Amino acid sequence: MTDLIEFDPVDDIAAGAFGRPGERTFVIQARKGDAVLSVLVEKEQVRLLADEAQQFLDRIAEEEPEEPPSALEIGGGTVREVEPLFRARLIGIGYDSERGLVLIELREDAADEDEDPPPPPDEVEGRIARLYATRAQIRVMMRNGVAAVEGGRPKCPLCDFPMNPDGHICPRWN
């Protein structure tokens, strides 16, 4: 049975991380009123979502120019340390042109990742979160998500692997 969670529309949406570099937890979070949803994601999922969302929003903007963002949209998009409800195995993006809202869908169960389109909610197990946001909110989410991905541990100049604060065993020195 599917547990469907819907924030339509969100008051705020964010992608980022909390914790020390090397031990960070990456999440996508949404807030609607007092309700906060935090979904665990991988660092690479944040990077890929930002890349895909950028291209997606740019294609939409060719047909439908964007409204200037409000002060609330610009000032949002930061994550808080909140226990994630589930881990997203599949992330999708869509657009409701009638309402001018972007849909970010996070699915816990991705047993058949090759299915296109994904099965309807009543045919899958696990949780599905549907988060509707403005294009400006998604752009802020992307910017902050990329900053979180790039704000991790520094890379070794020799091997390009992340270096820990207490040292690094570089394979190039072998």
Q: Against a cut of 0.85, is the pTM above it?
A: no
Q: Which amino acid is at 36?
A: V
CATH class of 2-112+122-173: alpha beta
For 1-19, give the secondary structure using H, E and C.
CEEEEEECCCCEEEEEEEC
* Tens digit of each residue's pLDDT (9 = 90 or more) over 25-41: 999 999 999 999 999 99
* Tens digit of each residue's pLDDT (9 = 90 or more) over 56-78: 999 999 999 887 777 666 667 78
How far is the C-alpha of 105 from the C-alpha of 39, rounded, in Å?
11
How far is the C-alpha of 56 from the C-alpha of 52, rounded, in Å?
6
Q: Enumerate the domain spans of the chain.
A: 2-112+122-173
